Structure 1
């Protein structure tokens, strides 16, 4: 049974539509739901974000739109810093079509997004103002909070792209270009030297920038992406372990099993077995 976070614990007054919860750092946190929606923006560090049972490796620039029906948690965090922008649509006063400003709430819509370096700088400035105004309960402050939330939503739309659709990257900069390439197809080896040559980037400087912003090496990030995908496929697909290994970028299924076991403490088969629903015993009547 997951925790349910109430509005009363996070919104200072019952008429406030928006609140900002800064988590610097964000500790591990058990599965939970809330009586509100939220936008999560990751500023630095890394960790696992489990959203509706799907693990996501998160680091700077990752954005998640969490519905009140969603269940999520944080695990294996490392200097993870993020902001939660909490909001209650039923409390908004501005007559706006929020369905055009926030991502679709349909089940097949992307859950994870990326924000460009430029977008992060713009969003950080707006959130700083929003954090101050959202504490006040007078009418003008509430309207200003909504206006700032609108500005933030527009920034995320203009400078964001779906994590699983990196070809939609707008206004890419060095780190954004690299992230989009890494997220493109984890089943194929990534050639950093070739990537840097194609984009006229310094390989050493790019490695340093990546580690500074994410707290990981590029190789570690790629390996964690592969393992997150493997966990998801083991839970949702019935294909052979060797096929899952290949789809996650491992040429050798035995090596995949070694790496997976070392990282999780379970073999791929044992991991999959955790999510198999036991069959009910056959009764004497059914046997007859």
Structure 2
């Protein structure tokens, strides 16, 4: 059974609609739910975020929209720095259609987005102001906190893009372009040298920039993305191990199994077996959704 985090333990006052919980760094944390919603913005480092049983590799620029009935946890964290912007929609007083700004959890709308470098800088400034106002509980500060939350939601809407449906960013900075390309290469090899040549970038400088923000090399990041996708498919699709290996960028299923065991301590079959007894749709075809 997952933990349930209560409003009174995180909100300074019973009328405050939003508050900020800094995680500098975010430690591993067991599966939990809350009686509030939250927006998670990752500033640095990397880790595994399991959201409603789906594993996501998270790093600088990732954004998650967590509803109060969601279950999530953190594991395998490495200098993971993030902010949790907690909010209670029933406490908002501004006449805003929040459903148009904060994405709902649907099959068509992913819960994980990426924030561009420009958006990350803008969001950081607003979150810093919001964190200061949330320490107060006077009426003016409460109104200002809600206004700042609105500003943050608008920034996110303008500067986020779907992490599992990447595309080329016409005005993206170097890190945005590389992240987008890697997200789109889970099922095939990625040629970093060719990417840099095509985009007229310095491969050495780009590698340094990537490691500075994520704590990983591009190749390690891609491998972790592939393993996250493999875990998801093993749990939700009745595919042959060789099919899953191919869909996650591994030409050799034996090599895939060896890498999977090294990273998780379990073979792909043993990983899948953990969830056989769990309730899950049976007979789903081997395709991504």
TM range (shorter): over 0.9
The answer to whether the Cα contact below 8 Å between 1:160 and 1:169 also exists between their aligned partners in 2 is no
Counterparts of 1:97 and 1:256, CA distance in 2: 46
SS in 2 for 1:30: strand
Q: 241-250 or 96-105: which moved more?
A: 96-105
State whether structure 2 residue 216 is matched by structure 1 residue 216. yes
* Residue aligning to 1:250: 250
The answer to whether the Cα contact below 8 Å between 1:161 and 1:168 also exists between their aligned partners in 2 is no
The answer to whether the Cα contact below 8 Å between 2:28 and 2:76 also exists between their aligned partners in 1 is yes
Question: How far apart are 1:103 and its partner, in Å?
Answer: 1.1
SS in 1 for 2:206: helix
State whether structure 2 residue 86 is matched by structure 1 residue 91. no
Counterparts of 1:12 and 1:173, CA distance in 2: 38
In structure 1, stretches of 5+ residues that fail to align are: 280-288
Q: Deviations over 1:19-74 (max 9, x none)?
A: 10000000000000000000000000000000000000000000000000100000
The normalised TM-score by structure 1 is 0.95
Q: CA RMSD in A?
A: 1.3
Counterparts of 1:278 and 1:115, CA distance in 2: 34
* Residue aligning to 1:33: 33
Question: How far apart are 1:106 and its partner, in Å?
Answer: 3.1
Question: How far apart are 1:109 and its partner, in Å?
Answer: 1.9
* Residue aligning to 1:286: none
How many residue pairs match? The answer is 279
State whether structure 2 residue 100 is matched by structure 1 residue 100. yes
SS in 2 for 1:81: strand
Q: 25-34 or 138-147: which moved more?
A: 138-147
SS in 2 for 1:47: strand
Please list, as runs of the form range in 1=range in 2, the aligned pairs for 1:1-288 lying within 5 A after superposition.
1-167=1-167, 169=169, 171-277=171-277
Q: 133-142 or 225-234: which moved more?
A: 133-142
In structure 2, stretches of 5+ residues that fail to align are: 280-289
Question: How far apart are 1:263 and its partner, in Å?
Answer: 0.7
Question: How far apart are 1:171 and its partner, in Å?
Answer: 3.4
Deviant stretches of 4+, over 6 Å: none
Counterparts of 1:272 and 1:98, CA distance in 2: 38
The answer to whether the Cα contact below 8 Å between 1:62 and 1:115 also exists between their aligned partners in 2 is yes
Counterparts of 1:87 and 1:170, CA distance in 2: 33
Question: How far apart are 1:107 and its partner, in Å?
Answer: 5.0
| Cα distance change, pair 271–29 in 1 and its aligned pair in 2 (3 A) | same
Q: Deviations over 1:152-175 (max 9, x none)?
A: 001101111010121274731000
Counterparts of 2:16 and 2:168, CA distance in 1: 35
The answer to whether the Cα contact below 8 Å between 1:35 and 1:68 also exists between their aligned partners in 2 is yes
Counterparts of 1:49 and 1:130, CA distance in 2: 24
